[in-house]
Amino acid sequence: MMDTSLVNPHLEGDTFFWEGGPVGVLLSHGFTATTAEVRWLAKTLHQGGYTVAGPLLPGHGTTVEEMNRTRWRQWTDTIEQTYRQLAARCKAVFLGGESMGGVLALYAASQHPEAAGLLLYAPAMKTFARPIDILRMRLTAPFTPYFLPPPGPRTLVDERWKGYPVRPTRAALQLLALRDATTRQLKHVHQPLLIVMARLDRTVHPDAAQIVCDGVSSPIKELHWMEKSTHCVILDQELPQVAELTLNFLAHLRQAF
């Protein structure tokens, strides 16, 4: 039996809420990860004067068994609670996230038209999973607790990321359910959005960016590709460029507040 305990357990991965200026940013980590995934970017934003929050999603940072008992509504409820905390403190709130976190940000934006904008990093609106892979996952979920992610080269992300080394099967089906629910809500998203994609991503399909751009009603859509980055684009070698793009995007929009 494979060791499924957390990778890099020494890293900080719990919920955080850092008080700053009157504009808030909610950053959600992705599937199987922890808030270690968003902390590097969050620190940059906080240093830039923003109030920044990053919730640890249910089922994450604990055990694979607990994550397999989690439902997607628990993830959206956690984002909702964090958004309300920020909205009570700030005059404007941006929603953001990496991978599944980007999907959660889109879903929350569809429920909160007053949200100021979206920061989407490799939003997992389409992955490289084939229909046969998804069917196999559905059939084996009752007796296969997890599966391995596709292999890839070692990068800076390996040292900076904290989470499960495997993908819990039943929880992965909940991610698919979240994605389906979000797809149905895309037309209700009208906020300005920033999308940052990684050219070397082996998890999120390149078409994910177009799915978002075509599906939302946003008049402002800014898309950037990081040519040297892998899936976790907010932890990889082009993080300084991603942070600069994010700060510029926020600075341009916050003039309205």
Tell me the catalytic residues.
99, 201, 231
Tokens of 207: 């078409």
**Best CA proximity match to 2, nearest among 167, 155, 160:** 167
Amino acid sitting at position 110: S
Amino acid sitting at position 188: H
Q: Are 53 and 27 in contact (CB under 8 A)?
A: yes
Residue where the block lists tokens 């929050």? 53
Q: Please enumerate in sequence order all residues whose Cβ is within 8 A of that of 134, keeping only pairs 6 or more positions apart, or say none.
A: 176
Q: Give 83-147 as a DSSP string.
A: HHHHHHH-SEEEEEEETHHHHHHHHHHHH-TT--EEEEES--SSBS--HHHHHHHHHHTTT--EE
Tokens of 2: 């494979």
129 C-beta neighbours (distance < 10 Å), count: 15
H-type alpha helices, 123-216: 131-140, 157-160, 169-185, 207-215
19 C-beta neighbours (distance < 10 Å), count: 11
Coil, helix or strand for 194?
strand
